Amino acid sequence: MDRRILFLILAVFTVSWAAILIKLCTAPPLVIAFYRMFMASVILLPLVFLKHFSALKQLLTEAPKLAILSGVFLGLHFAFWVTSLFYTSVSASVVIVATQPVFVALFSLIFLKEKATLLVWLGIILALFGVAVIGGGDFANLKGDLLALLGAIMAAAYLTLGRNIRKKYDLIPYIFVAYFVSSIVLAFFIILFGDSFSPLTLKNLGWFILLAIIPTLIGHSLYNWLLKYVKAYLVGISILGEPIGASIWAFLIFKEVPKTSLYLGAVLIILGVILALTGERRGKK
C-alpha cells in the first residue's frame, strides 16, 4: 500500500481523538486550545533550532506573511471548533467541522488553481452526504453548530495555505511557525474574554500534553506532510473519516450512543473517499 494512504489513515485515527481528549478536560475551551498548540510548539522547539534553523530562517525570510497567516487561520479554527464542543455533542461538532473539504476544494480552485475532476467532486458530495447522515437529527444547539461551521472554514483556509507553503518549504519549520502563531492567537482571545491561564490541575496538564502529541504533533503534522505530495482538497476529504472515529470513541468513553445512521454514513464516507482518490488518479493520466 502507498505510504501516503497509510499516513492518511494514521492522521485520521489520531485526529479523531482530539474531541474526546478535549471533552475530558475541565478547563475553558480557549485555554484548552491554547495549551494544546503552545505545548506542541514547545516540544518542536529543540528540533527546530538544532536541525532546522536554516530552513526556519528561509521560511521567515521568503514567506513570512503566508506562514503567519496560516497560523492565524489555525488558531481561529481551534478557537471556534473547541468552543463548539461545549455547546453541542461530539458527533454534531465533528460532523459539521468535517465539511471543510467543500471549502478546501473551492479555495484550491480559486487560489491554487487546482481543479478537481468530476469524480472527485462526486466523491466529496457522497462523503458529505455520509457526514450528513451521521449527524442527522443530532444538531442540538445552533450556537455550537455555527461555531463548528466557522471552524471548518478556518481549517480549509489553513489547509489551502499549507498546500501552497509545503510545495517549497520543509515540514518542521512550517508547522512550528503555524502552531506557535496559533497559540498566540488563542492567548489573545483568552485575554480578550477574561479567561485565566491558571490554575492548572495535573489531570488537565496530562490531557493537554496528550492533545499536543496525539492529534497535533502526529495527526496535524501528518496532514501537513501530505500537503506536499497530495492536493489540499484530497487531504481535506480524508478528514471526513474523523466523525467515524470520534463517534466510536464518544460511545466507548462517554456512552454517547451512536445512531444506526453512523454505520450507513461511515460506508458513504469511505465510498466517497475511494471515489475521490480514483478520480484524482485518473486525472493524472
What is residue 194's three-state secondary structure? coil
Q: Are 131 and 243 in contact (CB under 8 A)?
A: yes
Spatial contact of 104 and 208, defined as CB atoms under 8 Å apart: no
DSSP state letter for 52: S
d(CA 22, CA 80): 13
Helix, strand, coil content of the chain in percent (nearest 5): 80, 0, 20
Rounded Cα distance, 154 and 189, in Å: 16
Q: What is the biggest distance separating any 2 CA atoms in the chain, rounded to whole angstroms?
A: 57
Asked if residues 21 and 207 have their Cβ atoms less than 8 Å apart, the reply is yes
Q: What letter does residue 215 receive in the DSSP assignment?
A: I
Distance CA 14, CA 11 (A): 5
Question: Would you state the torsion angle of the CA atoms of residues 165, 79, 181, 47, taken in this order, to the nearest 10 degrees?
Answer: -80
Domain coordinates in residue numbering, the chain = 3-284
pLDDT one digit per residue (tens) for the chain, 285 residues: 567 778 888 888 898 898 899 989 999 999 999 999 999 999 999 999 999 999 999 999 999 999 999 999 999 999 999 998 888 777 777 777 877 777 777 787 777 777 777 887 888 788 778 777 766 655 556 788 788 889 989 998 998 899 889 889 999 999 999 999 999 999 999 999 888 887 689 999 999 999 999 999 999 899 889 888 877 666 766 676 777 777 777 778 877 766 676 677 777 877 876 777 677 656 555
C-alpha span between 57 and 63 (Å, rounded)? 10
Tell me how long the chain is.
285
Degrees, nearest 5: CA angle 99-104-106: 105
**Distance between CA atoms of 171 and 159, rounded to whole angstroms?**
13
CA distances from 71 to 21, 38, 158, 275 (A): 22, 12, 7, 31
**What is the rounded CA–CA span in Å between residue 253 and residue 271?**
27
